[in-house]
Amino acid sequence: MESAGAGHPAALLDGRYALGECIGEGGMARVYRAEDAFLGRTVAIKLIRPGIDGASSERAHSEMRVLASLNHPSLVTLFDAHLVPGQPEYLVMELVEGPSLADRLASGGALTSEEAAQLGAELAEALHVVHTAGVVHRDIKPSNVLLSPAEGRAPR
């Protein structure tokens, strides 16, 4: 891994992923827009913050197993993972280009009843897939709902 300078923990991960801007952040990780040089596509890299007690790494392993086992158009796809103790740990996921639901509500106001019904149905389908797999999300909130733009239709 090469150093990137101020503001970026790394410019290149494993000779494959070129990190760009930070697009999200939580207690466990920072998410970066990145380019996969091997496959030539833009992805999201969730770079795990090292945990003093290893809790962050265990949560990342759990998230990796869950994401790898699920498949639904309204769930983010996991492409790759690197979870080796003592090295930078990260998950490589599908990049959703649209805003979060929180951003959409802040900039555009309330959803129409049609938009709310469509979004509610898609969220219910995705949660059904997740719950059927025995997983409870535990952090469903507007900032964690990403809206993917769709040509000629409401976002997914």
Of residues 25 and 12, the one with the higher pLDDT is 25
- Compute the distance between CA of residue 156 and CA of residue 137 in angstroms, rounded to an integer: 19
Does residue 80 carry a catalytic annotation?
Answer: no
Q: What is the mean pLDDT of the chain?
A: 84
pLDDT in tens, 41-75: 999 999 988 764 566 667 777 778 888 888 888 88
> Which residue is associated with the tokens 């790494």?
57
**Distance, C-alpha 19 to centroid of its chain:** 15
Q: Which of 14, 53, 80, 139 is catalytic?
A: 139
The answer, yes or no, to whether residue 77 has pLDDT greater than 70, is yes
pLDDT in tens, 1-20: 443 444 444 457 888 999 99
pLDDT of residue 65: 83
pTM of the model: 0.79
| DSSP secondary structure letters along 48-86 | EPPPTTSHHHHHHHHHHHHHHH---TTSPPEEEEE--TT
Residue type, 152: G
Residue 91 forms beta bridges with which residues? Answer: 46, 81
pLDDT in tens, 108-122: 999 999 999 999 999
Domain architecture of the chain: domains with CATH: 12-94 (3.30.200.20), 101-144 (no CATH)
